[in-house]
Amino acid sequence: MAYETSNSSKDVHFDADAKDHANHIEQVDTAQEHNDRLVELSGIEATAASKAAWLISITVSLGGLLFGYDTGYISSVLVTIGRSLGNPLSSSEQELVTSLTSGGALVGAVFAGLVADKYGRKLPIWCACVVFVIGTLLQTAAYHLPQFAVGRFVVGLGVGSAAMIVPLYISELAPAKYRGRMVAFNNMSVTFGQLLASAVGAGFAQVGNPESSQAWRATVGIGAAPALLLAGLLFMCPESPRQLVAHGRNEEAAAVLLRIYPTSTEAQRQAKIDSINMSIHEAISAMSDDSLWQTLLRIFRTPATFRAVLTACTVMAISQLSGFNTLMYYSATLFKIVGFKNSTAVAIVVSATNFIFSIVNLVMVDKFGRRRILLVTLFGMVVCLVIAAVSFSYIPINLKTLEVQSNTIGWPGIVLIITIVCFVACFSSGVATIAWIGTELIPMEVRAVGTMLNTVTCWSTNIIIASTFLSMMKGLTPSGAFGFYCGIVGIGWIFVYFCFPEAKGMPLEAIREIFVKGFDVKYSKQWQKENKQFVKMSKQTSFTH
């Protein structure tokens, strides 16, 4: 999941008067001057970065793998758990144990966001590892539904904490020229974790009698290994330089910078620390002592800010309400419904497609921009969901038991799996990552609260999908359920077309101007045309530290 998040735990004041915005953000006359100043202070970025930066990034990206493995293994567990918890799980019980992790993740993400600034980035990651292991043990040793459900919730706490902190930690530690790729690597780790879980689940699904096999416990238990490995390796990772500077520990920050930039001079490291101090000062210069509730009210009462936050959260909601996570959580169940005998093996195709096209997004997003990719991929998702809905209408399914009433798969099943693969390709190469990048639309002085709202949107809508999919399949029929998702994505495409601006390379005050008079997509297009050189330069120098 590649995204930027704010590291200010203080509440932020946003003046509703558009004329005073510049006084609360940048203490420079123009964005160009601001950029030039940061370039001057960040001369260290021109020096060679060490391999340590990549090793640290890869190490903490194990947190993304935890996220991916959890969302991946539940798919195979649901079709192989049998009577291990006393009785076969009903559809409502399957929805419960699936959605509880999303609920835990929502709580974990908010908690991690609140403590990360005070106690550093590493402590929340360690806590995530601990609770993930505890949750895994609770599930592995469960012989009753309540214990398994509690384990799912506890694992969610770890998943949410890691998903919130790891990208932030990487973005603060990584050299500017590699920052995008290093953060995106974490998102790739999520998709790889899902692929790994699908493969492990498919393997253990072949062990023993499907009705009495306990092999699913191994699938779950293996998930503790990356958490233990991350917890151990984290001792060799430094704290974020920005976090150290924010707490006045400049000497320690200089030591970390020397580790990342071994050929840098002392003057360059001090200039980088000054640069970090400058960005911290800018981020807090407009802060007040308002409570979190008062800050939230200011966001909703200030039209420009509200529109920016609404845009980011809407795209996030589209990504979750599209129904994609039903394929992650219920892919094996879905393919079993369609009639595939080795449904867990077929589900690997979904995870593999998700992993491959997350790499495609990494290559395309800075070249083609967010808006164009969203318009193309969301349209592709709509087409795929229409075909899926039509294909389901030709498959005889008992709506009470969700079992296929045929011994052969036939052409509708083949068309369905091809369509699902295409749908996943469109999702993973588009809205999956851009939903997190959307926080760049939120003004810096409210980005902490805005990012929290974006995170809450992610997990709350995730809960809705996870807890209603099987019920919708029964109540609306499979065609109706996928038709519903199609309608959501269609509305999302319309929203993106009229309201989602292209903010690639734009400075904060330019992004702010987009939302002053509405959702001014035309303004963003015009700005991109008139500032091509500035956009090109901003790819080389980051505005955040």
What is the pLDDT at residue 29?
46
Residue type, 233: L
Please provide residue 95's backbone torsions phi and psi, each rounded to the nearest 5 degrees: -65, -35
Quick one: which H or E segment has residue 406?
A: none
Buried b (16+ CB within 10 A) or exposed e, 127-163: bbbbbbbbbbbbbbebeebeebbbbbbbbbbbbbbbb
Domains contained in the chain, CATH given: 46-237 (1.20.1250.20), 298-545 (1.20.1250.20)
224-233 vs 62-80: helix crossing angle, rounded to 10: 170
Which residue shows structure tokens 């003046």? 15
Please give the pLDDT value at position 222: 92
- Per-residue pLDDT, 274: 82
CA distance 58 to 192: 13
Three-state SS for 517?
A: coil
Instruction: Give the pLDDT score at 384.
Output: 95
Burial of 303 (0-12, 13-18, 19+ CB in 10 A): middle
Residue with tokens 């940048």: 26
Give me the residue label for tokens 């809905």: 389
Q: Can you give the pLDDT at residue 37?
A: 52
What is residue 25's predicted lDDT score, i.e. its pLDDT? Answer: 40
377 with 427: CB under 8 angstroms? yes
At 495 the pLDDT is 95
3-state SS class at 212? coil
| Long-range CB pairs of 399-407, under 8 A, 24+ apart, other chains included | 399/473, 399/474, 399/477, 400/474, 402/91, 402/337, 402/470, 402/473, 402/474, 403/337, 404/337, 404/338, 404/339, 406/339, 407/339
Q: What is the pTM of this model?
A: 0.73
User: What SS3 class is residue 222?
Assistant: coil
Q: Which of 542, 6, 64, 45 has its CA nearest to residue 260?
A: 45
Provide block-wise average pLDDT over 10 residues at a time, the chain (545 residues): 39 42 43 50 63 85 87 82 83 87 88 78 90 94 92 92 82 71 78 88 75 81 92 90 84 87 82 77 56 74 87 92 80 70 72 87 78 94 94 82 71 85 92 80 71 83 87 88 94 94 69 79 78 55 38
Q: Report the alpha-carbon distance of residue 433 to residue 456 in Å, rounded.
A: 16
The pLDDT assigned to 138 comes to: 95
Q: How far apart are CA 322 and CA 324, in angstroms?
A: 6
Check residue 1 and give its pLDDT: 41
In angstroms, the CA 454 to CA 462 distance is 12
Q: Supply the pLDDT for residue 210.
A: 58
Q: Tell me how long the chain is.
A: 545
Contact 125, 163 (CB under 8 A): no
Distance CA 469, CA 75 (A): 13
What own/partner pairs with CB < 8 Å and gap ≥ 24 does 536-541 have? 536/505, 537/35, 538/35, 538/505, 538/506, 538/507, 539/366, 539/505, 540/176, 540/177, 541/35, 541/38, 541/39, 541/42, 541/45, 541/176
pLDDT of the residue at 21: 43
Q: How far apart are CA 80 and CA 206, in angstroms?
A: 9
DSSP 106-136: HHHHHHHHHHHHHH-SHHHHHHHHHHHHHHH
Q: State the pLDDT at residue 409.
A: 67
Q: For residue 339, what is the DSSP state? A: T
